Amino acid sequence: MATKEPLIIRDKTQMTKWSRTMRSQSKLIALVPTMGYLHQGHLSLITEAHKHANVVAVSIYVNPGQFSPNEDLSTYPSDFQGDIQKLMSVPGGVDVVFNPKNLYDYGDSDSGEGGDGDGGVGVVSCIEKSGLGHESWVRVEKLEKGLCGKSRPIFFRGVATIVTKLFNIVEPDFAFFGKKDYQQWRLIQRMVRDLDFSIKVIGCEITRENDGLAMSSRNVHLSPEEREKALSINKSLSKAKSAVEDGQVQCEKLRNLVIQCITEAGGTIDYAEIVDQHSLEKVELIKGPVVFCVAALFGKVRLIDNMEINL
């Protein structure tokens, strides 16, 4: 049974006002940041959020700051009305959806608000403009460098900056992130610790399709054949985890196992790394908790997945 439709707020000042009203009523606030085109993985974050807070806010905002000019910002899938229906299907629903048009200041007005214009095609345009364009960025210097940071050098700068902005606007007590984006989750945790945000960042387990494919908004771009081949990612990670449980602790052999499985299925490896769960530094021998992180392309679609291994 569908719950009531959430309040939709597009203005950042009104969003902060709503949160402060909730806090004045002694209510704990949960935030689930998303870029929309929601799937069951996002909805599972909302279910978890209800366990921790009295009210739940979901942000829907495709953040241009994490896309480089050659990436898929213009083709990122969107279905706002469908998203609202999905949010209403979750037990308890959500209380508010924050759906701003733009959260970057492009210097188009004298007000300093800068959040209402289209701002061109993304943050690149606002940096290139003279005058009062956006120029403040949040960096988490070590955690952003490896894994996805190698092939997407501005990605985590954009993520950390927009999440900081959302935290400042929504002022939540809790924030929920999926562990599929493992590096992102750890990076946000570190940022919150280092910058003294009074927010608890909670990572939620990966939600998978029945056949094991990690849920992702990008899965819609896979052809049926590519989608079948993409199952090799989770299958190979499961094989690697089983090998560790059988005593194999040499990371190079485990990496080769996964790389071979994915490439034989027709995928192109971006990276396949075994790293410490907290520092995200590479390990050569597994002696404690690690996570095996993979990014691979099937056709033009880049997919990420991972598996925690706890010895």
Measured in whole angstroms, how far is the alpha carbon of residue 178 from the centre of its chain?
7
With beta carbons less than 8 A apart as the criterion, state whether 266 and 229 touch.
Answer: yes
- Cα of 195 vs its chain's centroid, Å: 20
> Alpha-carbon distance 63 to 73, whole Å?
8
Chain Cα centroid distance, residue 82: 20
Question: How far is CA 192 from each of CA 52, 55, 95, rounded to the nearest angstrom?
Answer: 18, 21, 24
Residue among 267, 257, 263, 219 at smallest CA distance from 237: 257
The 10 Å Cβ neighbour count of residue 159 is: 25
Can you say how many angstroms the Cα of residue 218 is from the centroid of all Cα atoms in its chain? 12
Q: Which of 39, 42, 50, 278 is catalytic?
A: 42
DSSP for 7-51?
Answer: EEE--HHHHHHHHHHHHHTT--EEEEEE-SS--HHHHHHHHHHHT
**166 within 8 A of 66, measured Cβ to Cβ:** no
Residue 42 annotated among the catalytic residues of the structure: yes
Which phi and psi (to 5°) does residue 284 adopt?
A: -100, -35
Q: Catalytic site residues? A: 42
